[in-house]
Amino acid sequence: MTRQQLVEQIRTKRSYLVVGLDTDITRIPRHLLSAPDPVFEFNRQIIDATKDHCVGYKINTAFYEAQGLAGWQAMEKTAAYIPSTHFKIADAKRGDIGNTSSQYAKAFFEALPFDAITVAPYMGADSVLPFLEYKDKWTIVLGLTSNTGARDFELQKAGEELLYEKVLRTAAQWGNADQLMFVIGATQASEFTNIRAITPNHFYLVPGVGAQGGSLKEISEKAMNKDVGLLVNASRAVIYASGKEDFADKAKQVASEYQQEMAGYL
Amino acid sequence: MTRQQLVEQIRTKRSYLVVGLDTDITRIPRHLLSAPDPVFEFNRQIIDATKDHCVGYKINTAFYEAQGLAGWQAMEKTAAYIPSTHFKIADAKRGDIGNTSSQYAKAFFEALPFDAITVAPYMGADSVLPFLEYKDKWTIVLGLTSNTGARDFELQKAGEELLYEKVLRTAAQWGNADQLMFVIGATQASEFTNIRAITPNHFYLVPGVGAQGGSLKEISEKAMNKDVGLLVNASRAVIYASGKEDFADKAKQVASEYQQEMAGYL
């Protein structure tokens, strides 16, 4: 998906919501457990219910890998089921030496039909460049994450700046704003003005709204750019809005509320 | 596997070699392609041929994920086939917020029978701690990697020290030397004396010997400790020693040469 297509989706739907499919088989409604593939069945119903209110889906690969082969199969089926109009993110946090990162790129951009993958920056340029070789695919580099552990390294001094600032500045040289985004946690709202100054044109994938407590309003006010430049992810707040048979209806309702709030900021 | 069991294996075999199963379906001998599962068949023959000369196997998950569901299945079969005497490493470079890292730990320590997993440190303590909750399982944190990209962040100033030094010092507080190791690339031999001074008791998983050019002699002289403290990985140099029908014999020969060289350093 090109940047232009993504921005058009956002403008048309008046939404920059991404729904995170962190689907945990121990948390899905019990009545689904008799389905042939409960995780896929849950995702299918969530996608059908929320697709008019969001512009993308983010699959958290960990939850699928934890279920072994059946989990990988559920991930394949889910990725194939997401409408082609929607931005498909593999939240995989991969990254390794070049010849290995090439294999990860192949896994998520060829064997699976994702538009984007999240990658870890620690190992530097050659661990990220293989992902950027794919035309119209997106590489989403971890910048400043939403968890408390962000204080251990990301928010520590690295020369004249903080490590996450160095990562933003450096990674912005590896690829342009048509192929590279950054993960910026919603709980780091105090840093958003600074982050937007460092990377004025890039899109941010922003997790941490909802269960993790980040403020959609504050992020939107501080970090929106002329192309919106934000994809805000909500996972648990949407998909586990209800643990009962009405889970899809409740997910739709929460997704719709996010969309309406976003429309007000656009 | 406990540290004591690992050290006993090393002393008994007079080897600290780990064979890396970076099995690429495009590089395995053609006569295997008619097997029902060519990647597993290749790995099975490599394991049979090399198991007397090494103390562990390292599965590079990227190469399996690149083959989709069939690849994940080949990984499961390979992990199950590795003898229980051998240390089984998932070279997966995972790491995410706590509830997600817990799912990765489940994937590799429960759904799959690995003894150890490599993890990326960028997101800090809570991204690594879930792996450390498993008794007799090992977490191998990226310290200083073998690739040129190590210069981008790992070897940059972070306060009074270099970032990789801060990572070593910080992560060594998260877990003790009975459950935590570090990845230290063999191409970084000039740093090994310093690294050993920072983390005197930890084991290092050392990739980068062979195809990447690191020196086994220099690493062994600089970084061995009283429990050896080294697991040196060779992947391509062993498994692709021959691309023909004699691939397993040639792999055995190369693994044996590494073992004999290692015996001389013990």
Interface pTM, i.e. ipTM: 0.97
Residue A189 has pLDDT above 90, yes or no: no
Residue A213 has pLDDT above 90, yes or no: no
- Tokens 């080294």 belong to B230
Q: Is the dihedral of CA B128, A64, A168, A193 positive or negative?
A: negative
Q: Are A123 and B147 a contacting pair at CB < 8 A?
A: yes
Q: If 0-12 CB within 10 Å is exposed, 13-18 middle and 19+ buried, where does residue B103 land? A: buried
Q: How many CB pairs under 8 A join A and B?
A: 192
Residue B210 has pLDDT above 80, yes or no: no
**Tens digits of residue pLDDT in A112-129:** 999 999 999 999 999 999
Q: Measured between CA atoms, how close is A254 to chain B, in angstroms?
A: 22
Residue B214 has pLDDT above 90, yes or no: no
User: Would you place residue B116 in the very low, low, confident or very high pLDDT band (cuts 50, 70, 90)?
Assistant: very high
Arithmetic mean of pLDDT over chain B? 97
Q: Determine the structural domain holding residue B37 and report its residue range.
A: 3-265
Q: Are B147 and A97 a contacting pair at CB < 8 A?
A: yes
pLDDT at A208: 86
User: Would you place residue B117 in the very low, low, confident or very high pLDDT band (cuts 50, 70, 90)?
Assistant: very high
Cβ contacts of A114 within 8 Å, gap of 6 or more: A59, A79, A88, A89, A90, A108, A137
Cβ contacts of B125 within 8 Å, gap of 6 or more: A148, A149, A152, B170, B174
**Tens digits of residue pLDDT in B67-86:** 999 999 999 999 999 999 99
Give the chain B residue whose CA is nearest to the CA of A129.
B149
pLDDT at B208: 86
**Averaged pLDDT for residues B194-217:** 91
User: Would you place residue A214 in the very low, low, confident or very high pLDDT band (cuts 50, 70, 90)?
Assistant: confident
CATH number (domain holding residue B32) = 3.20.20.70
User: Would you place residue B226 in the very low, low, confident or very high pLDDT band (cuts 50, 70, 90)?
Assistant: very high
**Tens digits of residue pLDDT in B153-173:** 999 999 999 999 999 999 999
β-bridge mates for residue A90, sequence order: A59, A117
Q: Are A68 and B112 a contacting pair at CB < 8 A?
A: yes
User: Would you place residue A210 in the very low, low, confident or very high pLDDT band (cuts 50, 70, 90)?
Assistant: confident
Nearest CB partner across the interface for A62, out of B73, B103, B156: B103
Cβ A254 vs Cβ A237: under 8 Å: yes
Give the chain A residue whose CA is nearest to the CA of B170.
A152
Give the chain A residue whose CA is nearest to the CA of B104.
A62
Chosen from A147, A183, A187 to mutate, greatest number of chain B CBs within 10 A: A147
Q: Measured between CA atoms, how close is B245 to chain A, in angstroms?
A: 25
User: Would you place residue A219 in the very low, low, confident or very high pLDDT band (cuts 50, 70, 90)?
Assistant: very high
Q: Are B145 and A158 a contacting pair at CB < 8 A?
A: no
Residue B131 has pLDDT above 80, yes or no: yes
Q: How many domains does chain A have?
A: 1
pLDDT at B224: 97
Say whether A217 is catalytic: no
